[in-house]
Amino acid sequence: MTWYRPAGQDFYFDCRVPELASFEKPGLEQGTALRAVSAVKENESGTALPLPAAQDLVCQAAGWVAGTQRAVEIWSAPPGLLMRVAGGSDFNISPFGREILWASQAENDGGLNETDRQILLGPVMVLALALRGTWSLHASAAIFNENLVLFLGESGSGKSTLAGYLANEADWRLAADDILPVTIGASGVAAWPHFPQLKLPTQAQPGAGLPEKITISKVCVLKDSRVYDMPAVQRLSSTQAIQVYLSHTAGTRLFDPELLKKHLAFCSQAAEMTPVYRLIYPHRWEGLRIIKELLESLC
């Protein structure tokens, strides 16, 4: 029973999550954690209660989870929600996303298996963060001096390759490889890099050595192009920028109408607060050097 603080939010889990060890909050007693989930985990006398059963299907989708395409269902399970992913365990999420309970915890003393680990750190965490007003972008990111630049794009568009290339250059540093939680704040759109990047090994996680919160300087959506095209950046209109945020937020197919409404409001605000560019990205090695120079000029 452990408290962690990924993406700037305190979470309680009823199982240990090794990928979140860098963000563990030590010193909280077990009773403190149990009281935080009293509506789900125990009654007033302290007697353990069964996890809430699924009642009504809220939404159903399919997505790439744990190495394959899987059906994902969200059920109402008062007082919270239950996520069910084909081939994996169920997870209960409290009403405001603060507590995450593993339905199979009692039967699996050895801890999370690989499939459940990726379910928990993928769609479960994405939905729990969204319930708390934190949106997860499909993005890689790198920092040039103090400027955080995000790269959005579909799977295979080259965003990880680009961020990885920049991270090996002088004055650049990797901030995210695949998923980056973001929020709206008084100073602009903020990224929260203390979040596990599932495609990177534990020793290569970029977030552990970065500040908890970084204001985003620029957003670039990658546009695949012909190999002989010249790299270029083009500023997008506010309407185009809104569409970029809408298209590259993880987990939106799992959002109910109220959450979709909040997400649209976020996208509209974010598009006004941070410049968004189309990055012409021909997939050739020498083009990466030109893109680096363009981005440094942009910053």
- Please give the tally of structural domains in the chain: 2
| CATH code of the domain in which 274 resides | 3.90.228.20
Q: Are residues 180 and 74 in the same domain?
A: no
Same domain, 228 and 99: no
Specify whether 72 is located in the same domain as 140. no
Domain that holds residue 269: 135-298
**232 with 206, same domain?**
yes
Cis peptide before 79 (omega within 30 of 0): yes
Same domain, 154 and 123: no
Assess whether 221 and 108 both reside in one domain: no
CA distance 256 to 57: 11
Domain ends where: 103, 131, 159? 131
Q: Are 164 and 285 in a shared domain?
A: yes
From 131, 152, 182, the end of a domain falls on 131
165 and 126 within one domain:
no
pLDDT in tens, the chain (299 residues): 689 999 999 999 988 898 998 899 876 544 444 444 444 444 444 445 567 777 899 999 998 898 899 999 999 998 899 999 999 999 999 988 999 999 876 566 668 899 999 999 999 999 999 999 999 999 999 999 999 999 998 887 789 999 999 999 999 999 999 999 999 988 899 999 999 998 888 888 999 889 999 999 999 999 876 666 788 899 999 999 999 999 999 999 999 999 999 999 999 999 999 999 999 988 777 789 999 999 999 99
Q: pTM of the predicted model, to two decimals?
A: 0.89
- Asked whether residue 170 falls in the same domain as residue 119, the answer is no
Q: Which one of 110, 131, 152 terminates a domain?
A: 131
Shared domain for 280 and 143, answered yes or no, is yes
Q: Are residues 192 and 49 in the same domain?
A: no
Q: What angle do CA 265, 121, 9 make, to 5 degrees?
A: 55
In this structure, the answer to whether residues 202 and 84 fall within a common structural domain is no
223: nearest Cα among 244, 242, 208: 244
Collapsing DSSP to helix, strand or coil, 142 comes out as strand
